[in-house]
Structure 1
Amino acid sequence: MEKQQVKTILKSVVIIAILLIIVFGLRAQSVDIGGVPNELKSHYVDENGLPYFSEMDSYFNYRMTENYMDHGYFGDTKVNGTGWDMHSYFPSGRAVGDYQPMIAYVTSFLYGIINMFQEMSLLEVAFWTGAIVSSLAVIPTYIFTRRITNDYGAIAASLIVVLGPNYISHTFAGFFDTDMFNITLPLFFILFFVEALKTDKLSYRIIFSLLAVASIALYSLSWTGYMFYVAVMVLVMIVFFVLCFYFNIEILEPFKNYGNKLEWLINQKELFATLIVLVVGLIGLLLAVGVGGIIEGITGLTGGFTLQAGAADVWPNVLISVAEMQIPNLVTGGLVGSFLANTGGVVNGVGGIVCLFGVLIVLYTFVQRLFRLNSVKVKGDTAKPHKSKRKATSVRTEQKRFSVSLKDIGSFGSTDEINKSKRHTVLYLSLFFVWIVSSAIAVTQGTRFIQVLVVPMGICAGIFVGYAVDYVKNNVDNDKVLLLIAVIASILIALPITQIAYGLDNAMTIGLVVLVILLAISAIVIYAKKSIKDSDVSIKKALVVVLITLALVSPTVCGAFQTTAATVPGSSDPMWFAMDYVKENSTNDTVIISWWDFGYLFQVASDHPTSFDGGSQTGDRAYWVGKSLTTSDYAQSKGILQMLATTGSNASMLLSEYTGSNVTAVHALDETLGKSRSEAQKILTSKYNLTNDQAKAVVKQSHPSNPNNVSFVLSSDMIGKAGWWSYFGSWNFDTLNSTNYQYYMANDYVPIKQNTQGNITILNESGIIYQAVVNRGKNGTNETTAQMETIWDNNRSKIDLNGTEYNPLKASNLICIENSYLTVNKTLNKDGNYTLYLLGSGDDYTAILMDNNLKDSVFTRLFLLGGIGQDTFELSNMQDGVSVWTLRDGSSNSDDAGSQ
């Protein structure tokens, strides 16, 4: 290896090391939980001062890793040789034998390495693992892009890809999920595969092909969607061969040039490399995930396009309520927002509109290059030049680098050079076109797939930077043009800084200062009398190319800074303390039931099983838990909870078998769960035509005689999620759709003295204020009254439409609770669809407006009103924003216990 090559490699190593420090440092910033006010931060860290995980899947991955390190397999036990998790989907539990184990393997490996030097708990290692592994994505991103463009482009691509909004928001410190692998391993796969297609040496071709197989095999242990990249590369090669044949590019030589077919096959480099990857890859995947894993991966490709379906079978599909499964906007934030990077839109997610513009230019240039190459002719001779005329190694190395520009066209010395350039052009055009289109299609199924799209888009944006840098170096000599480029780049650098909402107290000022400084430096350097030469590029051009690079990466870097600077843990002390209470004060048969979001945390913090969590979002649980919250029938809610905690889905499955219909089964259970056993049995025989034996068998499951204890957990976050749990709990099984119902809560208490009027803002949206106008009477009387009205935010005047008051949130009922006593419960307006709750403590009042369908719901009566007026549920523990309820014995559906 020549000295210049060593220098080039060392330079790349240094650049990669610096990039690793930058991207890891931004991810590590989340440990400061900057989105939490300083006075409250102590509530968001555990007893060791470590912030709680930022989302709930982290607790499941932590528990699986703990299982693996404790007894060598995932889950609590084994059923028929398969790992089985008894903490989830209780009482049946669920299989975790197909759990993607890479996160546990890597974390346990890091745990072993770190504890060789200092003591660190598994929880602490897990907290940092995502930030460490995801930062390593810099390596394949930089290498892959540097093989196409220059250092500037490779640096830009690395920052845009590895700090992409939808990637860093799932991989900062405290986010312990499989997303950490979603760029590193796929990019290694694509890097090695492309190198196998390009190399002229058979040994390298085999090595790179095997490395590609190893990368995708490892990825198959990391994410169920690994087959996406296999499908992408298969499509890439199909498009590649079609384009090559269309443009008459020689990729397959005649058989007659070789002694046998095997020799011919070995020398057809693209075809041979593809076959190696497919054949050896199939063997590797069989070893890694088995036949079932491969079939699941293939079916998952088509199954991914059903994520937005409203129903799974007849049951509602909870996945449509998950934020990252929502269909994204194209762009968010208007004109200024289009220049920013965030998770709000597709354009924002790939680095902003400037990056998108760069990607389109690169794709167009690839197409233009291909058509230009098709008509190029050989110039010069093909003889090897004399040693004295050969160029330096560094120059030859740069010439070997594929160029997306058109400047080399017409300077080829042989037909082989032209053909090679055509093949590489078609390869990259096929790769980026198929990759981007496939990723864009995936994005239609949810925002989480933007992190897949940002990889090819970010690399293309980096290529654009490299292309722009080369263009400026070689073609722009006019100082006015250089200054114009510098001014535009400086504005693009400063704009994202001015928009940082968290982490910088004076972002606007800082951004403007940065702009002024950059403009001043640009003017001074460009119009300096003497141009300081650095190699063959003047310092003024060096400044401009640096500004171009920063302009493309500024939105992404600023967006990443804001994401980790605004981090708020997914839980806090009240939730954890509530689970501590359950752990210490509940029997072993206690099952925790709540909406699914905190299920994984409940399992870790309480060491008790749950009925509903992030792993059971399809099937019957969403309906039954939603129903237990939405219904106004306490007996029915209790019956649902006891059934889920004790026999799970057995009653529903048995009824489906007897009636031949899931829908009929649900209707039967809806009607009987609030009834006694004897009443339920009579209804099943008389109305649903079950035999006595069948009815007894069903009731044995739906009305268990010795039910498990239940901890029913209600929390303040469920107020904002009411639209979803009411939607699923009110699911119409005949039409397979539903309606969601909402709570609107005032943010603050407003002082309102006796016999005075006060206004409580409940909602401020799109310049319109929805407020409760309260006329307070005397304490302990029924004189307090209130009504909803809408006013303009700018002038506080009432809103009239054609002479009619605009009041879409008109209240039909008023309920007032003053100092824990119900003082008012009356009808206001029969035309309204909402109920207004006033809650007064002393002279301070707040308000809750809710859809009438939630007025008497179990959630409203328990969580918002403290359980007044019922004796079915008993408050066992109360924390700030979290309440734990248990079921009282002896209520409606527990009679005739021996009837079964």
Structure 2
Amino acid sequence: DFGHWFKAIGDRAVTFDGASQDTPQAHWVGKALQTGDEDLAIGILRMLDCGANNAFDALNAEVNDTARSIEYLNGILPLASEGADEVLAGHGISKETREKVLAKSHCTPPDNYFITSDDMIGKAGVWAHFGLWDFNKAQMFNTLNKKEYKSNKSDYIALLKSRFNYSEEQAEEMYRQITSLSDSKAVNDWISPWPGYASDVRGCSKGGNASTLRCDLGNGAFAAVDLIEMEIRIPTPQGTQWPASFVYPTESGIEEKRYENASIGLSIVLIPTGTDSFANMFVSQEIAKSMFTRLFFMEGHGLSHFDKFADETSLTRQRIIVWKVDWDGLDKNVHPALQPIATLPPEDAIASEGNNTATGSTA
């Protein structure tokens, strides 16, 4: 939303702004924020800097299948140029098209500054919705509305089976889902969810011993965390319940533990806040391990391609963090609260003991 401001004040081009919210960039930027795959996120940013959506345009000119072209791009963006070329060749893409695609997806990119800010928390439903857009579902819906298929169920079922490798039962179920959609909102909701941050960040305190946490969930509810086994449970009068997943920091990055017996449709993210202290929040599972979650709430912990450039709070107490993209990704960020004391210089170790609040850069 603030791209025009960045462009005017920073006197530099932007990847995305309010004028391009109805362009393919909305999907790609949303995907870069939503994905938990740093290599994919960096590949997307490189592609956008090299040529906006032109890599897709060049590829789809030959493939002529939007969903398949997106699938191919998602497969090559995390890779180096040579590997990407091999993958495209494996899909039967011509040498001429491969060269056009890679020129717009794997150039030597310019400097990039990636912004994460407080206002993006409330907008997560929008950027994640675009980022999670299911191009297969969109293609199925649009195809059924074509004249040749709209009144010919048997041909449509045959298409689903051949194009998407569906069984007869799967094709029938997809046909049933699509024909039951009542309006454009139902279609939009069916194609992609609207994930979000379902709670504020809330505190955790030590439980009965040093290896357990009691994390406030609001309204008197709490989650019990075992810091040894990294397990979480939610005691309730109706019995123990579990979240969809539990996302927590390790020494080198982030892990996610999923619960098959989940009774709550949200994930809980454990956030380091200081030496041996934590907070937590409820989040939709689709963005629990996302780049935005890790960059804004976890100081970029475990990421190699984002170096903190600036961390400011506005007059309205909105936090704004600017990350300089490190295209080479040589050094991994470590959250200040998880930095081993033994590796710090003596004066920093003394300061750390006196202040358990995580501050400063992880670049």
After TM superposition, the score normalised by the length of structure 2 is 0.64
Q: Which amino acid aligns with 2:295?
A: L
Deviations 1:439-475 (A, max 9, x none): xxxxxxxxxxxxxxxxxxxxxxxxxxxxxxxxxxxxx
Query: Unaligned regions of 5+ residues in structure 2, if any?
Result: 139-190, 314-318, 331-363
For the residues of structure 1 that align with 2:48 and 2:230, how far apart are their CA atoms? 42
Residue in structure 1 matching 2:101, options 698, 716, 720:
698
The corresponding residue for 1:729 is: 131
| CA distance 1:717–1:782, change in 2 (3 Å) | farther
For the residues of structure 1 that align with 2:252 and 2:93, how far apart are their CA atoms? 46
The corresponding residue for 1:761 is: 217
Contact 1:752 1:843 (8 Å CA) reproduced: no
| CA distance 1:825–1:730, change in 2 (3 Å) | closer
Q: Which amino acid aligns with 2:327?
A: D
The corresponding residue for 1:631 is: 35
Contact 1:712 1:885 (8 Å CA) reproduced: yes
| CA distance 1:734–1:784, change in 2 (3 Å) | closer
What is the DSSP-based 3-state SS (H/G/I as helix, E as strand, rest coil) of the residue aligned with 1:652? helix
**Superposition pairs of residues 568-579 of structure 1, within 5 angstroms:** none
The corresponding residue for 1:859 is: 292
Report deviation, 1:891: 5.0
For the residues of structure 1 that align with 2:41 and 2:62, how far apart are their CA atoms? 24
Matched, 1:882 2:286: no
For the residues of structure 2 that align with 1:862 and 1:670, how far apart are their CA atoms? 22
* Identity within the alignment, %: 25
Query: Unaligned regions of 5+ residues in structure 1, if any?
Result: 1-596, 763-768, 791-797, 893-900
Matched, 1:841 2:274: yes
For the residues of structure 2 that align with 1:618 and 1:851, how far apart are their CA atoms? 25
For the residues of structure 1 that align with 2:311 and 2:329, how far apart are their CA atoms? 23
What is the DSSP-based 3-state SS (H/G/I as helix, E as strand, rest coil) of the residue aligned with 1:641? helix
| CA distance 1:610–1:842, change in 2 (3 Å) | same
Contact 2:295 2:301 (8 Å CA) reproduced: yes
| CA distance 1:732–1:844, change in 2 (3 Å) | same
**Superposition pairs of residues 664-813 of structure 1, within 5 angstroms:** 664-687=68-91, 689-704=92-107, 706-736=108-138, 737-749=191-203, 752=206, 755=209, 758=214, 760-762=216-218, 769=219, 771-774=221-224, 782=228, 786-788=232-234, 798=237, 800=238, 810-813=242-245
Deviations 1:287-313 (A, max 9, x none): xxxxxxxxxxxxxxxxxxxxxxxxxxx
Report deviation, 1:751: 5.1
Report deviation, 1:841: 3.3
For the residues of structure 2 that align with 1:658 and 1:867, how far apart are their CA atoms? 38
Contact 1:813 1:834 (8 Å CA) reproduced: yes
For the residues of structure 1 that align with 2:77 and 2:192, how far apart are their CA atoms? 21
The alignment covers a number of residue pairs equal to 268
What is the DSSP-based 3-state SS (H/G/I as helix, E as strand, rest coil) of the residue aligned with 2:217? strand
Report deviation, 1:602: 2.0
| CA distance 1:752–1:843, change in 2 (3 Å) | farther
What is the DSSP-based 3-state SS (H/G/I as helix, E as strand, rest coil) of the residue aligned with 1:811? coil
Matched, 1:651 2:55: yes
Compare the two structures and name the one with the higher strand fraction.
Answer: 2
What is the DSSP-based 3-state SS (H/G/I as helix, E as strand, rest coil) of the residue aligned with 1:869? coil
What is the DSSP-based 3-state SS (H/G/I as helix, E as strand, rest coil) of the residue aligned with 1:723? helix
Contact 1:749 1:845 (8 Å CA) reproduced: yes
Contact 1:774 1:784 (8 Å CA) reproduced: no
For the residues of structure 1 that align with 2:217 and 2:99, how far apart are their CA atoms? 54
Contact 1:655 1:698 (8 Å CA) reproduced: yes
For the residues of structure 1 that align with 2:14 and 2:329, how far apart are their CA atoms? 23
Q: Which amino acid aligns with 2:94?
A: T
Deviations 1:315-334 (A, max 9, x none): xxxxxxxxxxxxxxxxxxxx
Matched, 1:661 2:107: no
Q: Which amino acid aligns with 2:269?
A: Y
For the residues of structure 2 that align with 1:663 and 1:695, how far apart are their CA atoms? 18
| CA distance 1:835–1:680, change in 2 (3 Å) | same
Matched, 1:608 2:12: yes
Deviations 1:411-439 (A, max 9, x none): xxxxxxxxxxxxxxxxxxxxxxxxxxxxx
Report deviation, 1:815: 4.4
Deviations 1:74-95 (A, max 9, x none): xxxxxxxxxxxxxxxxxxxxxx
Report deviation, 1:611: 1.8
Q: Which amino acid aligns with 1:639?
A: G
| CA distance 1:751–1:605, change in 2 (3 Å) | farther
Matched, 1:814 2:218: no
| CA distance 1:836–1:692, change in 2 (3 Å) | same
Q: Which amino acid aligns with 2:128?
A: S
Contact 2:204 2:214 (8 Å CA) reproduced: yes
| CA distance 1:661–1:770, change in 2 (3 Å) | farther
Q: Which amino acid aligns with 2:64?
A: G
For the residues of structure 2 that align with 1:681 and 1:632, how far apart are their CA atoms? 24
Report deviation, 1:644: 1.0
Contact 1:815 1:826 (8 Å CA) reproduced: yes
| CA distance 1:789–1:645, change in 2 (3 Å) | farther
Report deviation, 1:663: 3.0
Report deviation, 1:700: 0.9
Deviations 1:510-535 (A, max 9, x none): xxxxxxxxxxxxxxxxxxxxxxxxxx
Cα RMSD over matched residues? Answer: 3.3
| CA distance 1:751–1:731, change in 2 (3 Å) | same
For the residues of structure 1 that align with 2:129 and 2:48, how far apart are their CA atoms? 19
| CA distance 1:655–1:751, change in 2 (3 Å) | same
Contact 2:42 2:327 (8 Å CA) reproduced: no
For the residues of structure 1 that align with 2:90 and 2:302, how far apart are their CA atoms? 34
Contact 1:628 1:640 (8 Å CA) reproduced: yes
For the residues of structure 2 that align with 1:739 and 1:716, how far apart are their CA atoms? 22
**Superposition pairs of residues 83-98 of structure 1, within 5 angstroms:** none
For the residues of structure 2 that align with 1:725 and 1:627, how far apart are their CA atoms? 8
Deviations 1:47-76 (A, max 9, x none): xxxxxxxxxxxxxxxxxxxxxxxxxxxxxx
What is the DSSP-based 3-state SS (H/G/I as helix, E as strand, rest coil) of the residue aligned with 1:859? helix
Q: Which amino acid aligns with 1:863?
A: F
Report deviation, 1:708: 1.4
Deviations 1:847-875 (A, max 9, x none): 11223332332222222222222312222
Deviations 1:117-149 (A, max 9, x none): xxxxxxxxxxxxxxxxxxxxxxxxxxxxxxxxx
What is the DSSP-based 3-state SS (H/G/I as helix, E as strand, rest coil) of the residue aligned with 1:627? helix
The corresponding residue for 2:168 is: none
Whose Rg is larger? 1
| CA distance 1:822–1:685, change in 2 (3 Å) | closer
Residue in structure 1 matching 2:24, options 610, 616, 620:
620
Contact 2:195 2:284 (8 Å CA) reproduced: yes
| CA distance 1:816–1:889, change in 2 (3 Å) | closer
| CA distance 1:826–1:690, change in 2 (3 Å) | closer
For the residues of structure 2 that align with 1:824 and 1:658, how far apart are their CA atoms? 39
What is the DSSP-based 3-state SS (H/G/I as helix, E as strand, rest coil) of the residue aligned with 1:774? strand
| CA distance 1:661–1:813, change in 2 (3 Å) | closer
| CA distance 1:816–1:677, change in 2 (3 Å) | closer
**Superposition pairs of residues 73-472 of structure 1, within 5 angstroms:** none
| CA distance 1:702–1:877, change in 2 (3 Å) | same
Contact 1:770 1:789 (8 Å CA) reproduced: no
Higher relative contact order (CA 8 A, sep 6+): 2
| CA distance 1:771–1:811, change in 2 (3 Å) | same
Contact 1:636 1:674 (8 Å CA) reproduced: yes
